[in-house]
Amino acid sequence: GQQVMQIPQYQHVQEGEDFTTYCNSSTTLSNIQWYKQRPGGHPVFLIQLVKSGEVKKQKRLTFQFGEAKKNSSLHITATQTTDVGTYFCAGLGSNDYKLSFGAGTTVTVRA
């Protein structure tokens, strides 16, 4: 079945710096979703990307869907302590009917 890989597994960021986390699929995706799980919490939906090359922004977060619809990225600018948590991507393959989650990128922030 389809596999979704996320890199890096861990991201340690200085407060105020930018960083990017990546999501790669072995197959073409119909759409990709991003979720955030705060420490001690549960995953919460952030955004969905559907179109090739699509870019969406939520304040300091920029989400991008690759032209080939096989990869996606999340870029955070001016990282804050509120950005701490694990970010998951979840993809829907062209022939699938349920999402496949990546292993997540766990972000810690140094003040």
Sites for other proteins among residues 49-108 (CB under 8 A): 88, 90, 92, 96-99, 101-104
**How far apart, in whole angstroms, are the C-alpha atoms of residue 93 and residue 104?**
18
Among 7, 9, 78, 108, which residue interacts with other proteins (rule: CB under 8 A)? Answer: 9
Q: Which of residues 14-53 bind other proteins (CB under 8 A)?
A: 30-31, 33, 35, 41-45, 48
Q: Rounded CA gap, 84 and 19, in Å?
A: 12
C-beta of 36 vs 71, nearer to other proteins: 36
Cα–Cα dist 6/89, whole Å: 8
Classify the C-alpha dihedral 20-26-32-37 as positive or negative: negative
Task: Give me the least distance between CB of 16 and other proteins, in Å please.
Answer: 28
Tell me the closest approach of the beta carbon of residue 3 to other proteins, in angstroms: 10
Interface ranges with other proteins (CB under 8 A): 1, 6, 9, 30-31, 33, 35, 41-45, 48, 88, 90, 92, 96-99, 101-104
